[in-house]
Amino acid sequence: GLTVYASVLDLKSLGAKELRQSCSSKLTLLEMDLTKGEDIQRVLHFIKAQTVMTGLWGLVNNAGFNDSLADAELTPLQSFRTCMEVNFFGPLALTKGLLPLLRSSQGRIVTISSPAGSMPYPCLAGYGTSKAALSLLMDTFQCELASWGIRVSVIFPGYFKTGSTCNTDFWKERKDQLLAELPPGLLEAYGEEYVEEINRQFLSYMKLAVEDLSPVVESITDGLLSPQPLAKYYPGRGLGLMYFIHHYLPCTARDRFLRAFFIHPQLPRALQPKPCEAPQKP
């Protein structure tokens, strides 16, 4: 029953085609790249023109990006920057641009964050830090906008099957590119087999991805339409246990749990015990 404006990276993509086929005539697709300020401004101008008479009830910040599985030291700076642009600065610019409309309607903001923004998941430094910044930003908006009547909700989904997150070819390509671009000293210290093992474990972890997205969709819907929406939602398996461990047990227990649950990197090559040399014959 709602009029929806949904952004996609490419209006000719398979995802855009699927949306046109499965959604009602109340859906309007807009092409937008959150790393491009001119795209954001064009969409803001369009939304303001379309809602000047009706008002804008809700904003859902859903875009998310990650292209690196590696220790923070091995992750290229550009990966950190791209994650911040898509996962933090893009939603920040879009939210700030739409706040005048949301204030006038006393509307809702719903944002998809990640458990990786609350806990130090192994090999997700770039993605996790951007989501941590996003979560804190939304917590800040929650406090600042309450007096305007705007409700802000943040969703922390578990591992659901979406886009490139479960594309084996994508992650193999990223792993090969990382190995090709690592400085020789870092590659020698960690070893090629270290990066290969991280990739192997993650591909195995993909089998746990949940295909049914309804728990996340229901959380978004509740954040938009419930008379008293929750400030935080945690759809997904095992998240309650993870947050209990994170907040109430020592860091060593939390880190051990995350490695057992997600990725457990082997020792870097430089830290592995050297094989004993055979004794010299006299």
Catalytic residue annotation: 127
d(CA 76, CA 81): 9
Where does residue 45 rank: exposed (0-12), middle (13-18), buried (19+ CB within 10 A)?
exposed
CB 157 within 8 A of CB 236: yes
Nearest to 254 by CA among 244, 263, 264: 244
Phi, psi of 13 (to 5 degrees): -75, 165
CB-CB neighbours of 209 under 10 Å: 13
d(CA 135, CA 245): 19
7: three-class secondary structure by DSSP: strand
CB-CB neighbours of 280 under 10 Å: 5
Identity (one letter) of the amino acid at 167?
N
Taking each helix axis from N to C end, the angle separating 168-181 and 192-205, rounded to the nearest 10 degrees, works out to 160
Structure tokens at 88: 């933090």
Structure tokens at 131: 């989501």
CB 67 within 8 A of CB 82: yes
CB 130 within 8 A of CB 87: yes
